[in-house]
A and B are shown apart, each in its own frame.
Chain A
Amino acid sequence: MTKLGQWLCGLALLGSAWAALALAPPGLQLPVPYRQALLPLPVYLLVAFGCYSLATVGYRLATFNDCEEAAAELQEHISAARADLRRRGLRF
């Protein structure tokens, strides 16, 4: 199954469970307070996921390494490479 397929199945499952419990088709009635709590649940979950995403990306952005040493080392390597290759007869 493709990832899209997995998502659709998952959403269908959760969606029907939510509809069954929160929208109260006759024959399956939870007490009113439960139903009222369940009704906005999808929106809450979406907002929660949004916050999680922002927090995660923000954290990862802040901890993104800057490789100062690697850059300096690379510059050294480049000079060494140019000198050595010139010695071996490379015409740049």
Chain B
Amino acid sequence: MAAGGADKFSVLLPTYNERENLPLVVWLLARTFQESGINFEIIIIDDGSPDGTQEIAEQLEKIYGSAKIVMREIISVLFLSGTAYIHGMKHATGNFIVIMDADLSHHVSLYFIKQKEGNFDIVSGTRYKGDGGVYGWDLKRKLISRGANFLTQVLLRPGASDLTGSFRLYRKEVLQKLMEKCVSKGYVFQMEMIVRARQLGYTIGEVPISFVDRVYGESKLGGNEIVSFLKGLLTLFATT
């Protein structure tokens, strides 16, 4: 528990060239938390973006106060999701950590309610169940997504319906334990977290989310992504 006995949520936002999206995400998060009366902080971990993301983050820090917005910069040659989270967690003072993308593809929704409901260790967003879904995807992309997910379910039997989403809520201790155990990079790392969590006996709740295709900026799903996904999946299959 955080000091005072109340829950506090730390949101980790790794960013790269998110100058357009960042203020909007922060505004949406702040509003959602404030309306629910929940104590929060947003930790922005920027990978040396050349487009002025840090400058916008600093402005936001002034507007919302530095108790609420924390800006940390790391410059690394390979900006791998794992690095950003490790870095962010060092500065997180909440007892729950929310991980999401800063690119507005995750429509902000109320995870905390679900967590309280079942006292889950992890709450994961899913596009495939309930009224979760996507917007702006053509048939090909949907097919690839469903096909990849089916393969993942057959091979890994992970007990969660959406492994490649990155909108998740973790208890801080749980995230720390998982970060120690996981070795993959990129978004395969997200998949590994859930698989390892299952093995360690953590409870996972699911919340339907709407994945609205990037409002600003470009999204990419090419042959390379598919190949690297398959490699990652087979690696997890053979090592977990």
Contacts and interface: CB of A to CB of B under 8 A. Distances in A.
**Most chain A CB within a 10 A radius of its CB, from B133, B145, B240:** B133
Contacts of B23: 81-82, 85, 90, 92
Which bracket fits the contact residues of B?
35 or more
Interface stretch (A10-18, A35-43, A60-68): A60-68
A89 B60 CA distance: 9
Contacts of A78: 24, 104, 215
Contact of B128 (A60, A66, A71, A89): A60
Contacts of A61: 139, 142-143, 146
Interface in B223-240: 236-240
B135 A70 contact: yes
A76 B237 CA distance: 42
A53 interface: yes
Contact of A65 (B28, B62, B132, B145): B132
Contacts, number: 94
Contacts of A81: 23-24, 27-28
Contacts of B149: 60
Nearest to A4: B238
B118 interface: no
Nearest to A79: B24
B24 A82 contact: yes
B63 interface: yes
A3 B143 CA distance: 25
A85 B236 CA distance: 43
Across the A-B interface, the 6 shortest Cβ-Cβ residue pairs: A65-B133, A70-B210, A67-B210, A81-B27, A71-B135, A67-B133
A29 interface: no
A67 B212 contact: yes
Contacts of A73: 107
Contacts of A68: 135
29 contacts: A2-B238, A2-B239, A3-B155, A3-B237, A3-B238, A4-B237, A4-B238, A57-B143, A57-B147, A61-B139, A61-B142, A61-B143, A61-B146, A64-B142, A64-B145, A65-B131, A65-B134, A66-B135, A67-B210, A67-B211, A67-B212, A71-B135, A71-B210, A74-B104, A74-B107, A74-B212, A78-B24, A82-B24, A89-B59
